Amino acid sequence: MATFVLVPGACHGGWCYERIDDRLRRHGHRAHALTLTGFGDHARPMSGTVNLDTHIQDVVDVLTAESLEGVVLVGHSYGGMVITGVADRVPERVDSLVYLDAFVPEDGDSVWTLTSEAEHEWYLSAGETGYAVPPLPFFDPRATAHPLASLVQRIRLTGDLGRFRRREYAYATLWDGPSPFTPTYERLREDPSWTVHPLEGRHNLMRDVPDDLLKILLDVAPPGPGH
């Protein structure tokens, strides 16, 4: 039995994994689809104090409170920033990392530094409040505003992602325009320590290609006793 912790992207909650988490459980695994501070059941008036560190700590708290070990961390989009920070803070609890069309930051990176002017224009539409970035029109109707601070805060890392058993990257090939994740995909596919999966889906891979993602996750699951 493996333990998967599933982290959503910007503006989304754990519900974005609804086509994945139940199927993982039917295969005998544990699956925790998290909703981070400021969204869904955790919604509260958004403030400038919710940042990337807040969301990293959300996940660390779940891992420690539930005594989870040997975890496969899965992050979509912005969630890649979060799972990278979690793996750096509590590496002893993490087995593998799976990035779903997501950011894979190095020390000092932020979502802002890893994106272009097109994404920056969206982030700065937080001007109405100064800190809440509205969901884009094509997002799921359940999507809510995202804290700007989490997108501009630079991540601080002290370790090497290479310490983990598996590192997987699923890349969406059907963006309408340029994908902000193409540079990451091109970098990682040349790195033999990563396994890269180009998938014929849009950015929301969990909705578009759940069968493909399930195969990837089941393959990544740590081997059981005796294997």
Q: Which two tokens stand for residue 183?
A: 């540079």
Any catalytic annotation for residue 150? no
- Which of 47, 67, 77, 193 is flagged as catalytic? 77
Residue with tokens 């660390």, as numbered in its chain: 60
Is 110 exposed, middle or buried, given 0-12, 13-18 or 19+ CB atoms closer than 10 A? middle
Q: Which two tokens stand for residue 88?
A: 């750096």
Q: What does each C-alpha distance from 64 to 68, 69, 86, 121 come to in angstroms? A: 6, 9, 11, 37
Residue with tokens 């086509």, as numbered in its chain: 19
Q: Is 53 left (phi over 0), alpha (psi -120 to 50) or beta?
A: alpha
Instruction: Indicate which residues carry an active-site annotation.
Output: 77
